[in-house]
Amino acid sequence: GSNNLNLLFPSGQFGTRLQGGKDAASGRYIYTRMSKYTRSIFHPDDDDVLEYLTEEGQNIEPKWYCPIIPMVLVNGAEGIGTGWSTNVLSYDPREIINLLRALIRGVELHDIHPWYRGFTGSVERNEKGGYDFLGKVKMASDDRTVDITELPVKTWTQNYKEFLQEMMQAGQEAITQEKKAKAKAKRRAAAAASSDAGSEPSTPPAAASGEKDKEKKKGPAVKLGDLKE
């Protein structure tokens, strides 16, 4: 989220990646001055050819500046206007300088990809013609912890931490609900098994007495050897 080449030196707390600059100190506690390379980009030899604005009879700042490299590509630009918006990504100033020298020499130019100072993740072109910025994550040695060592560009640490906490809380609630559902199903199964064991089917009294009557009506068993012609 910071500039690749900051033209003003940040003397004080100007904000960090923790909250994307929202954690900057109040204006009365911060100071600034020109960075050491600012006048190399806006060269003093060009001061006399610039068109200056006037206010109350005095010359003030130039109407426009003329840097020796396109700073809009170095630091990028993002904004919304009436019906239009722009989003220019940041690029490596060293590659921009090499392209300018190649353009002056008439050498064939090559493509360059976005670059952000201090970003250690990867930049990949997507199917829509844009770019995807990927962070870094790896599994820890205990196979239960995930180490996130880099976040995508313009993804702030505090916001991502809150996102992870909400996701973990939702996952913990889902696990708790699942455990409760399993325990409830287990209790139901145990109650059903206990009910089945206490109500085993038995022979009805009427049917039992009827079978005894049938046994009484039956005569003694007759062997084939006792039969006479």
Confidence check: pLDDT of 224 > 50: no
- Active-site annotation holds for 31: no
pLDDT higher than threshold 60 for residue 211? no
Convert the pLDDT of each residue in 131-186 to its tens digit. 999 999 998 888 888 899 999 999 999 999 999 899 888 877 778 888 888 888 88
pLDDT digits (tens, 9 = 90+) for 12-38: 989 888 888 888 999 899 999 999 999
CA atoms within 13 A on the CB side of 204: 3
- 215 band by pLDDT with thresholds 50, 70 and 90: low
* 73-122 residue pLDDT tens: 999 999 998 889 999 999 999 999 999 999 999 999 999 999 999 999 99
- Give yes or no for residue 229 having a pLDDT over 50: no
pLDDT of residue 217: 54
Task: Take residue 200 and report the two structure tokens written for it.
Answer: 């085993």
Domain boundaries, the chain: 70-110
Query: In this predicted structure, what is the pLDDT of residue 227?
Result: 45
What pLDDT does residue 44 have?
A: 93
Residue 150 or residue 210, greater confidence: 150
Instruction: Please indicate whether residue 101 or residue 224 has the higher confidence score (pLDDT).
Output: 101
Residue 1 or 229, more confident = 1
Q: Is the pLDDT of residue 221 over 90?
A: no
Which residue among 29, 37, 91, 131 is the active-site one? 29
Model pLDDT for residues 49-65, shown as the tens digit of each residue: 999 999 999 989 999 99
